[in-house]
Amino acid sequence: MASSATPASVAAPPDPLSMGAVLRIPQMRRLWYAQVVSAFGDFLALFAVIGVLTFNLHANAQQVTGVQIAYMVPIAILGIIAGVFVDRWPLKPTMVASDLLRAGLVLLLLFAHRMSDFYLALAAISIVSSFFGPAQGVAIRSVVPMHGLRSANALMQQVMFGMRIIGPSVAALLVANFGPATCYWADAASFVASACLIASVGLRRPEDPSVPVSHESAIQAEARGIARIGSDMKQGFSFIVHHAGLLFVILALASGMFVLGCFGPLIAVYVRDNVHASARSFGFASSSIGVGMLFGMNLLTARAKHVKNSLLVYMGLGGIAAGLILLALVTMIWTTVLGNLLIGFAVAGIIIPSQTMIQQETPAALMGRVGSTVMSFVFGAQVCGLVLSGVMAKYIGVRQVFAVCAVMLFLLIGVGRLWMEPREEQVTA
Protein backbone atom coordinates (compact mmCIF):
# COMPACT_ATOMS: atom_id res chain seq x y z
CA MET A 1 0.00 0.00 0.00
CA ALA A 2 1.53 3.30 -1.08
CA SER A 3 1.93 5.87 1.65
CA SER A 4 0.88 9.42 0.98
CA ALA A 5 2.91 12.39 2.11
CA THR A 6 1.60 14.10 5.20
CA PRO A 7 1.32 17.89 5.30
CA ALA A 8 4.08 18.04 7.89
CA SER A 9 6.49 16.25 5.54
CA VAL A 10 6.09 18.82 2.79
CA ALA A 11 8.27 21.87 3.34
CA ALA A 12 6.29 25.08 3.03
CA PRO A 13 7.78 27.64 0.63
CA PRO A 14 9.54 30.49 2.43
CA ASP A 15 7.73 33.79 2.75
CA PRO A 16 8.77 36.34 0.11
CA LEU A 17 11.43 38.74 1.33
CA SER A 18 10.60 42.40 1.80
CA MET A 19 12.62 45.12 0.09
CA GLY A 20 14.27 45.93 3.42
CA ALA A 21 15.30 42.30 3.88
CA VAL A 22 16.72 42.17 0.36
CA LEU A 23 18.74 45.33 0.97
CA ARG A 24 20.25 43.70 4.04
CA ILE A 25 22.04 41.28 1.70
CA PRO A 26 25.46 43.00 1.35
CA GLN A 27 26.03 42.07 -2.32
CA MET A 28 22.55 43.19 -3.34
CA ARG A 29 22.94 46.43 -1.42
CA ARG A 30 26.09 47.30 -3.37
CA LEU A 31 24.45 46.42 -6.68
CA TRP A 32 21.58 48.70 -5.69
CA TYR A 33 23.94 51.55 -4.81
CA ALA A 34 25.60 51.07 -8.19
CA GLN A 35 22.20 51.29 -9.88
CA VAL A 36 21.34 54.48 -7.96
CA VAL A 37 24.47 56.39 -8.94
CA SER A 38 24.59 55.23 -12.57
CA ALA A 39 20.87 55.80 -13.17
CA PHE A 40 21.09 59.29 -11.69
CA GLY A 41 24.02 60.11 -13.98
CA ASP A 42 22.23 58.63 -17.00
CA PHE A 43 19.14 60.78 -16.53
CA LEU A 44 21.24 63.90 -15.97
CA ALA A 45 23.04 63.31 -19.28
CA LEU A 46 19.88 62.34 -21.17
CA PHE A 47 17.89 65.39 -20.10
CA ALA A 48 20.90 67.63 -20.71
CA VAL A 49 21.07 66.31 -24.28
CA ILE A 50 17.33 66.89 -24.75
CA GLY A 51 17.76 70.43 -23.40
CA VAL A 52 20.64 71.19 -25.77
CA LEU A 53 18.76 69.80 -28.78
CA THR A 54 15.57 71.65 -27.90
CA PHE A 55 16.86 75.08 -26.89
CA ASN A 56 20.29 75.34 -28.55
CA LEU A 57 19.82 73.41 -31.80
CA HIS A 58 16.06 74.12 -31.99
CA ALA A 59 15.20 70.49 -32.77
CA ASN A 60 11.64 69.54 -33.71
CA ALA A 61 9.59 66.84 -31.98
CA GLN A 62 10.75 64.08 -34.34
CA GLN A 63 14.41 64.95 -33.79
CA VAL A 64 14.00 64.95 -30.01
CA THR A 65 12.22 61.58 -30.20
CA GLY A 66 15.18 60.43 -32.28
CA VAL A 67 17.35 60.70 -29.14
CA GLN A 68 15.35 57.90 -27.51
CA ILE A 69 15.32 55.87 -30.71
CA ALA A 70 19.09 56.24 -31.16
CA TYR A 71 19.58 54.77 -27.69
CA MET A 72 17.00 51.98 -27.97
CA VAL A 73 17.68 50.61 -31.47
CA PRO A 74 21.17 49.15 -30.79
CA ILE A 75 19.87 47.32 -27.71
CA ALA A 76 16.86 46.04 -29.66
CA ILE A 77 19.13 44.71 -32.42
CA LEU A 78 22.16 43.52 -30.45
CA GLY A 79 20.33 42.35 -27.34
CA ILE A 80 19.82 38.79 -28.52
CA ILE A 81 23.45 38.33 -29.59
CA ALA A 82 24.83 40.03 -26.47
CA GLY A 83 23.22 37.43 -24.23
CA VAL A 84 25.25 34.66 -25.86
CA PHE A 85 28.48 36.35 -24.76
CA VAL A 86 27.13 37.24 -21.32
CA ASP A 87 26.46 33.53 -20.71
CA ARG A 88 30.10 32.76 -21.59
CA TRP A 89 32.07 35.69 -20.22
CA PRO A 90 33.01 36.09 -16.52
CA LEU A 91 30.23 38.02 -14.83
CA LYS A 92 31.94 40.71 -12.75
CA PRO A 93 34.59 41.71 -15.33
CA THR A 94 31.83 42.06 -17.94
CA MET A 95 29.86 44.48 -15.76
CA VAL A 96 32.90 46.49 -14.63
CA ALA A 97 34.27 46.78 -18.16
CA SER A 98 30.84 47.89 -19.44
CA ASP A 99 30.67 50.66 -16.84
CA LEU A 100 34.20 51.89 -17.56
CA LEU A 101 33.63 51.85 -21.32
CA ARG A 102 30.42 53.85 -20.91
CA ALA A 103 32.23 56.33 -18.67
CA GLY A 104 34.55 57.05 -21.57
CA LEU A 105 31.87 57.05 -24.25
CA VAL A 106 29.62 59.52 -22.43
CA LEU A 107 32.44 62.08 -22.57
CA LEU A 108 32.05 62.05 -26.37
CA LEU A 109 29.01 64.25 -25.72
CA LEU A 110 31.44 67.04 -24.77
CA PHE A 111 32.48 67.20 -28.42
CA ALA A 112 28.99 66.87 -29.92
CA HIS A 113 27.78 69.94 -31.80
CA ARG A 114 25.45 68.52 -34.46
CA MET A 115 22.32 66.40 -34.21
CA SER A 116 24.10 63.39 -35.68
CA ASP A 117 26.93 63.69 -33.12
CA PHE A 118 24.49 63.21 -30.25
CA TYR A 119 22.79 60.28 -31.98
CA LEU A 120 26.09 58.49 -32.61
CA ALA A 121 27.35 59.02 -29.04
CA LEU A 122 24.13 57.67 -27.53
CA ALA A 123 24.13 54.71 -29.93
CA ALA A 124 27.70 53.84 -28.89
CA ILE A 125 26.72 53.94 -25.21
CA SER A 126 23.71 51.76 -26.01
CA ILE A 127 25.87 49.10 -27.66
CA VAL A 128 27.83 48.62 -24.45
CA SER A 129 24.65 48.76 -22.36
CA SER A 130 23.28 45.79 -24.29
CA PHE A 131 25.90 43.65 -22.50
CA PHE A 132 25.51 45.24 -19.07
CA GLY A 133 21.72 44.75 -18.78
CA PRO A 134 21.64 40.93 -19.06
CA ALA A 135 24.76 40.62 -16.87
CA GLN A 136 23.05 42.66 -14.15
CA GLY A 137 20.05 40.30 -14.28
CA VAL A 138 22.34 37.30 -13.81
CA ALA A 139 24.12 39.09 -10.94
CA ILE A 140 20.84 39.72 -9.10
CA ARG A 141 19.85 36.09 -9.55
CA SER A 142 23.24 35.01 -8.14
CA VAL A 143 23.06 37.04 -4.89
CA VAL A 144 19.34 37.04 -4.05
CA PRO A 145 17.36 33.88 -3.13
CA MET A 146 14.40 32.97 -5.30
CA HIS A 147 11.86 34.20 -2.75
CA GLY A 148 13.51 37.64 -2.74
CA LEU A 149 13.65 38.26 -6.49
CA ARG A 150 10.36 40.18 -6.69
CA SER A 151 11.52 42.69 -4.08
CA ALA A 152 14.97 42.90 -5.70
CA ASN A 153 13.45 43.75 -9.08
CA ALA A 154 11.13 46.27 -7.46
CA LEU A 155 14.10 48.00 -5.84
CA MET A 156 15.92 48.27 -9.17
CA GLN A 157 12.88 49.59 -10.99
CA GLN A 158 12.11 52.08 -8.23
CA VAL A 159 15.49 53.64 -8.85
CA MET A 160 14.73 54.07 -12.55
CA PHE A 161 11.31 55.60 -12.03
CA GLY A 162 12.46 57.75 -9.13
CA MET A 163 15.25 59.20 -11.23
CA ARG A 164 12.78 59.79 -14.05
CA ILE A 165 10.83 62.03 -11.69
CA ILE A 166 13.71 64.03 -10.17
CA GLY A 167 16.14 63.85 -13.11
CA PRO A 168 14.60 66.58 -15.31
CA SER A 169 14.55 69.24 -12.59
CA VAL A 170 18.11 68.51 -11.40
CA ALA A 171 19.42 68.42 -14.98
CA ALA A 172 17.66 71.70 -15.81
CA LEU A 173 19.19 73.33 -12.73
CA LEU A 174 22.71 72.15 -13.56
CA VAL A 175 22.46 73.08 -17.24
CA ALA A 176 21.12 76.55 -16.42
CA ASN A 177 23.85 77.31 -13.88
CA PHE A 178 26.89 75.35 -15.07
CA GLY A 179 26.17 74.17 -18.62
CA PRO A 180 25.48 70.69 -20.07
CA ALA A 181 29.11 69.60 -19.71
CA THR A 182 28.54 69.32 -15.94
CA CYS A 183 25.90 66.65 -16.54
CA TYR A 184 28.16 64.70 -18.91
CA TRP A 185 31.03 64.71 -16.40
CA ALA A 186 28.62 63.68 -13.65
CA ASP A 187 27.40 60.75 -15.75
CA ALA A 188 30.96 59.62 -16.45
CA ALA A 189 31.77 59.82 -12.74
CA SER A 190 28.65 57.82 -11.91
CA PHE A 191 29.74 55.00 -14.22
CA VAL A 192 33.17 54.90 -12.53
CA ALA A 193 31.51 54.83 -9.11
CA SER A 194 29.22 52.02 -10.27
CA ALA A 195 32.21 50.03 -11.57
CA CYS A 196 33.98 50.40 -8.20
CA LEU A 197 30.91 49.23 -6.29
CA ILE A 198 30.41 46.20 -8.57
CA ALA A 199 34.12 45.35 -8.35
CA SER A 200 33.72 45.09 -4.56
CA VAL A 201 30.92 42.52 -4.85
CA GLY A 202 31.68 38.81 -4.73
CA LEU A 203 29.74 37.61 -7.79
CA ARG A 204 29.49 34.00 -8.76
CA ARG A 205 27.45 32.73 -11.66
CA PRO A 206 24.52 30.64 -10.31
CA GLU A 207 24.93 26.93 -10.87
CA ASP A 208 22.42 25.02 -12.96
CA PRO A 209 22.00 21.48 -11.59
CA SER A 210 19.73 20.57 -14.50
CA VAL A 211 22.62 20.81 -16.98
CA PRO A 212 25.47 18.36 -16.22
CA VAL A 213 28.98 19.73 -16.72
CA SER A 214 29.81 16.97 -19.18
CA HIS A 215 26.77 17.83 -21.30
CA GLU A 216 27.65 21.54 -21.26
CA SER A 217 31.21 20.73 -22.34
CA ALA A 218 29.87 18.60 -25.17
CA ILE A 219 27.67 21.47 -26.36
CA GLN A 220 30.65 23.84 -26.40
CA ALA A 221 32.72 21.33 -28.36
CA GLU A 222 30.09 20.91 -31.07
CA ALA A 223 30.55 24.29 -32.69
CA ARG A 224 33.00 27.16 -32.92
CA GLY A 225 32.84 30.78 -33.99
CA ILE A 226 29.69 31.99 -35.70
CA ALA A 227 28.18 28.49 -35.69
CA ARG A 228 28.50 28.36 -31.92
CA ILE A 229 26.85 31.78 -31.54
CA GLY A 230 23.98 30.65 -33.75
CA SER A 231 23.61 27.43 -31.77
CA ASP A 232 23.51 29.34 -28.47
CA MET A 233 20.93 31.80 -29.79
CA LYS A 234 18.77 28.94 -31.03
CA GLN A 235 18.95 27.28 -27.63
CA GLY A 236 17.74 30.45 -25.90
CA PHE A 237 14.91 30.97 -28.40
CA SER A 238 13.84 27.36 -28.14
CA PHE A 239 13.54 27.58 -24.37
CA ILE A 240 11.36 30.72 -24.57
CA VAL A 241 9.09 29.39 -27.34
CA HIS A 242 8.48 26.09 -25.57
CA HIS A 243 7.76 27.67 -22.19
CA ALA A 244 4.20 28.95 -22.63
CA GLY A 245 4.03 30.88 -19.35
CA LEU A 246 7.36 32.59 -19.96
CA LEU A 247 6.45 33.45 -23.54
CA PHE A 248 3.24 35.07 -22.30
CA VAL A 249 4.92 37.32 -19.73
CA ILE A 250 7.54 38.36 -22.30
CA LEU A 251 4.79 39.27 -24.77
CA ALA A 252 2.92 41.06 -21.98
CA LEU A 253 6.01 43.04 -21.03
CA ALA A 254 6.72 43.95 -24.65
CA SER A 255 3.08 44.96 -25.18
CA GLY A 256 3.11 47.15 -22.10
CA MET A 257 6.27 48.88 -23.31
CA PHE A 258 4.77 49.29 -26.79
CA VAL A 259 1.79 51.06 -25.25
CA LEU A 260 4.07 53.31 -23.20
CA GLY A 261 6.06 54.02 -26.36
CA CYS A 262 2.87 55.13 -28.10
CA PHE A 263 1.59 56.90 -25.03
CA GLY A 264 4.67 59.01 -24.24
CA PRO A 265 4.83 61.17 -27.39
CA LEU A 266 1.03 61.50 -27.68
CA ILE A 267 0.08 62.56 -24.16
CA ALA A 268 1.30 66.13 -24.78
CA VAL A 269 -0.81 66.35 -27.94
CA TYR A 270 -3.77 64.82 -26.08
CA VAL A 271 -3.56 67.41 -23.28
CA ARG A 272 -3.26 70.24 -25.79
CA ASP A 273 -5.87 69.24 -28.39
CA ASN A 274 -8.37 67.11 -26.48
CA VAL A 275 -8.23 68.36 -22.91
CA HIS A 276 -7.39 71.94 -24.00
CA ALA A 277 -5.11 72.39 -20.99
CA SER A 278 -1.81 74.21 -20.46
CA ALA A 279 1.80 73.03 -20.54
CA ARG A 280 1.79 73.05 -16.74
CA SER A 281 -1.11 70.60 -16.74
CA PHE A 282 0.81 68.41 -19.17
CA GLY A 283 3.79 68.30 -16.79
CA PHE A 284 1.55 67.42 -13.87
CA ALA A 285 -0.20 64.68 -15.86
CA SER A 286 3.08 63.22 -17.11
CA SER A 287 4.64 63.07 -13.64
CA SER A 288 1.56 61.21 -12.38
CA ILE A 289 2.66 58.19 -14.44
CA GLY A 290 5.91 57.97 -12.45
CA VAL A 291 4.03 58.49 -9.19
CA GLY A 292 1.66 55.66 -10.10
CA MET A 293 4.58 53.35 -10.91
CA LEU A 294 6.33 54.03 -7.60
CA PHE A 295 3.12 53.59 -5.61
CA GLY A 296 2.29 50.40 -7.50
CA MET A 297 5.70 48.86 -6.86
CA ASN A 298 5.57 49.59 -3.14
CA LEU A 299 2.04 48.21 -2.83
CA LEU A 300 2.99 45.18 -4.91
CA THR A 301 5.89 44.19 -2.68
CA ALA A 302 4.03 44.96 0.56
CA ARG A 303 0.53 43.61 -0.09
CA ALA A 304 0.78 41.13 -2.96
CA LYS A 305 3.57 38.86 -1.74
CA HIS A 306 1.55 35.67 -2.18
CA VAL A 307 -0.25 36.59 -5.41
CA LYS A 308 0.89 34.58 -8.44
CA ASN A 309 3.12 36.41 -10.91
CA SER A 310 0.89 35.43 -13.84
CA LEU A 311 -2.22 36.84 -12.12
CA LEU A 312 -0.44 40.12 -11.43
CA VAL A 313 0.50 40.36 -15.11
CA TYR A 314 -3.14 39.87 -16.14
CA MET A 315 -4.20 42.57 -13.68
CA GLY A 316 -1.47 44.87 -14.97
CA LEU A 317 -2.56 44.46 -18.58
CA GLY A 318 -6.18 45.06 -17.61
CA GLY A 319 -5.26 48.13 -15.57
CA ILE A 320 -3.35 49.73 -18.44
CA ALA A 321 -6.27 49.02 -20.77
CA ALA A 322 -8.72 50.57 -18.28
CA GLY A 323 -6.59 53.70 -18.01
CA LEU A 324 -6.42 54.04 -21.79
CA ILE A 325 -10.19 53.62 -22.11
CA LEU A 326 -10.73 56.34 -19.51
CA LEU A 327 -8.52 58.69 -21.52
CA ALA A 328 -10.28 57.80 -24.76
CA LEU A 329 -13.80 58.32 -23.37
CA VAL A 330 -13.43 61.31 -21.04
CA THR A 331 -11.32 64.38 -21.86
CA MET A 332 -10.96 66.30 -18.62
CA ILE A 333 -7.82 67.19 -16.69
CA TRP A 334 -8.78 65.19 -13.60
CA THR A 335 -9.53 62.09 -15.68
CA THR A 336 -6.21 62.57 -17.50
CA VAL A 337 -4.33 62.58 -14.20
CA LEU A 338 -6.37 59.64 -12.91
CA GLY A 339 -5.84 57.67 -16.13
CA ASN A 340 -2.09 58.29 -16.03
CA LEU A 341 -1.93 57.26 -12.38
CA LEU A 342 -3.81 54.06 -13.19
CA ILE A 343 -1.55 53.28 -16.16
CA GLY A 344 1.58 53.86 -14.09
CA PHE A 345 0.21 51.78 -11.24
CA ALA A 346 -0.69 48.93 -13.61
CA VAL A 347 2.70 48.99 -15.35
CA ALA A 348 4.25 47.92 -12.03
CA GLY A 349 1.97 44.87 -12.17
CA ILE A 350 3.65 43.83 -15.40
CA ILE A 351 7.29 44.80 -15.02
CA ILE A 352 8.09 43.35 -11.59
CA PRO A 353 6.23 39.99 -11.84
CA SER A 354 7.46 39.47 -15.42
CA GLN A 355 11.10 40.03 -14.49
CA THR A 356 10.72 37.85 -11.42
CA MET A 357 9.12 34.99 -13.32
CA ILE A 358 11.78 35.18 -16.04
CA GLN A 359 14.54 34.93 -13.42
CA GLN A 360 12.82 32.12 -11.53
CA GLU A 361 11.91 29.98 -14.54
CA THR A 362 15.08 30.37 -16.62
CA PRO A 363 17.93 27.87 -16.12
CA ALA A 364 21.12 29.55 -14.92
CA ALA A 365 23.00 28.54 -18.07
CA LEU A 366 20.51 30.46 -20.23
CA MET A 367 20.04 33.56 -18.06
CA GLY A 368 22.09 35.85 -20.29
CA ARG A 369 20.42 34.74 -23.51
CA VAL A 370 16.88 34.88 -22.16
CA GLY A 371 17.49 38.17 -20.36
CA SER A 372 18.97 39.84 -23.42
CA THR A 373 16.17 38.50 -25.63
CA VAL A 374 13.63 40.03 -23.27
CA MET A 375 15.55 43.30 -23.31
CA SER A 376 15.61 43.22 -27.10
CA PHE A 377 11.83 42.67 -27.27
CA VAL A 378 11.16 45.44 -24.74
CA PHE A 379 13.32 48.06 -26.44
CA GLY A 380 12.11 46.98 -29.87
CA ALA A 381 8.51 47.36 -28.73
CA GLN A 382 9.23 50.83 -27.37
CA VAL A 383 10.86 51.88 -30.64
CA CYS A 384 7.85 50.59 -32.58
CA GLY A 385 5.57 52.53 -30.25
CA LEU A 386 7.57 55.72 -30.69
CA VAL A 387 7.65 55.37 -34.48
CA LEU A 388 4.06 54.22 -35.01
CA SER A 389 2.36 56.55 -32.54
CA GLY A 390 2.69 59.61 -34.74
CA VAL A 391 1.62 57.75 -37.86
CA MET A 392 -1.45 56.21 -36.24
CA ALA A 393 -2.46 59.47 -34.57
CA LYS A 394 -2.25 61.27 -37.91
CA TYR A 395 -4.77 58.94 -39.55
CA ILE A 396 -7.14 57.94 -36.73
CA GLY A 397 -6.56 60.48 -33.93
CA VAL A 398 -4.93 60.31 -30.50
CA ARG A 399 -7.96 59.06 -28.57
CA GLN A 400 -8.50 56.31 -31.14
CA VAL A 401 -4.85 55.23 -30.75
CA PHE A 402 -5.44 54.84 -27.01
CA ALA A 403 -8.57 52.79 -27.72
CA VAL A 404 -6.74 50.53 -30.20
CA CYS A 405 -3.96 49.90 -27.66
CA ALA A 406 -6.58 49.00 -25.02
CA VAL A 407 -8.20 46.48 -27.37
CA MET A 408 -4.77 44.96 -28.11
CA LEU A 409 -4.14 44.45 -24.40
CA PHE A 410 -7.54 42.82 -23.83
CA LEU A 411 -6.83 40.46 -26.75
CA LEU A 412 -3.49 39.55 -25.20
CA ILE A 413 -5.23 38.72 -21.92
CA GLY A 414 -7.58 36.40 -23.82
CA VAL A 415 -4.72 34.73 -25.68
CA GLY A 416 -2.86 34.19 -22.43
CA ARG A 417 -5.87 32.67 -20.70
CA LEU A 418 -6.70 30.35 -23.60
CA TRP A 419 -3.32 29.14 -24.80
CA MET A 420 -0.52 30.25 -22.50
CA GLU A 421 -1.70 29.30 -19.03
CA PRO A 422 0.73 26.91 -17.29
CA ARG A 423 -0.96 23.51 -17.23
CA GLU A 424 -1.24 21.68 -13.96
CA GLU A 425 0.33 18.26 -13.95
CA GLN A 426 -2.31 15.56 -13.54
CA VAL A 427 -1.14 13.13 -10.85
CA THR A 428 -2.64 9.66 -11.02
CA ALA A 429 -2.87 7.46 -7.99
The model's pLDDT over 278-291, given as tens digits with 9 standing for 90+, comes to: 766 766 777 788 78
Q: Are residues 175 and 259 in the same domain?
A: no
The model's confidence at residue 422, banded by pLDDT at 50, 70 and 90, is: low
Distance CA 344, CA 141 (A): 26
Q: Are residues 256 and 395 in the same domain?
A: yes
**Residue 252 resides in a domain:** yes
**Residue 7 resides in a domain:** no
More confident residue, 170 or 93: 93
Closest by CA to 352, choosing from 424, 303, 404, 389, is 303
Q: Which domain holds residue 351?
A: 236-419
Q: Are residues 307 and 370 in the same domain?
A: yes
Number of domains in the chain: 2
**Residue 211 resides in a domain:** no
| Domain end (from 182, 205, 228) | 205
253, 157 contact by CB (below 8 A): no
**Residue 386 resides in a domain:** yes
Q: What is the CATH number of the domain that holds 364?
A: 1.20.1250.20
**Residue 427 resides in a domain:** no
| Domain end (from 183, 205, 227) | 205
User: What does each C-alpha distance from 414 to 25, 242, 315, 410, 418 come to in angstroms?
Assistant: 39, 19, 12, 6, 6
**Residue 356 resides in a domain:** yes
Q: Are residues 186 and 255 in the same domain?
A: no
Closest by CA to 413, choosing from 339, 329, 332, 312, is 312
**Residue 8 resides in a domain:** no
Q: Are residues 342 and 245 in the same domain?
A: yes
Q: Are residues 186 and 262 in the same domain?
A: no
What does the angle CA 205 – CA 208 – CA 212 come to, to the nearest 5 degrees? 125
Distance CA 422, CA 243 (A): 9
> Residue 214 has what pLDDT?
41
More confident residue, 224 or 41: 41
86, 376 contact by CB (below 8 A): no
More confident residue, 387 or 138: 138
Q: Are residues 282 and 410 in the same domain?
A: yes
**Residue 50 resides in a domain:** yes
Q: Are residues 26 and 97 in the same domain?
A: yes
How high is the mean pLDDT of the chain?
Answer: 82
> Residue 226 has what pLDDT?
60
> Residue 258 has what pLDDT?
86
Q: Are residues 85 and 132 in the same domain?
A: yes
Q: What's the whole-number mean pLDDT along residues 6-33?
A: 79
Question: Does position 3 have pLDDT exceeding 70, yes or no?
Answer: no
- Of the spans 124-128, 175-179, 242-246, which averages the highest pLDDT? 124-128
Angle between the 61-86 and 26-51 helix axes, to the nearest 10 degrees? 150
Q: What tens digit of pLDDT does each residue of 385-408 get?
A: 888 887 888 888 889 989 999 998
Q: Are residues 106 and 201 in the same domain?
A: yes
Q: Are residues 132 and 252 in the same domain?
A: no
110, 48 contact by CB (below 8 A): no
User: What does each C-alpha distance from 44 to 31, 38, 70, 410 come to in angstroms?
Assistant: 20, 10, 17, 37
Q: Are residues 143 and 32 in the same domain?
A: yes
Least confident range from 122-131, 341-350, 420-429: namely: 420-429
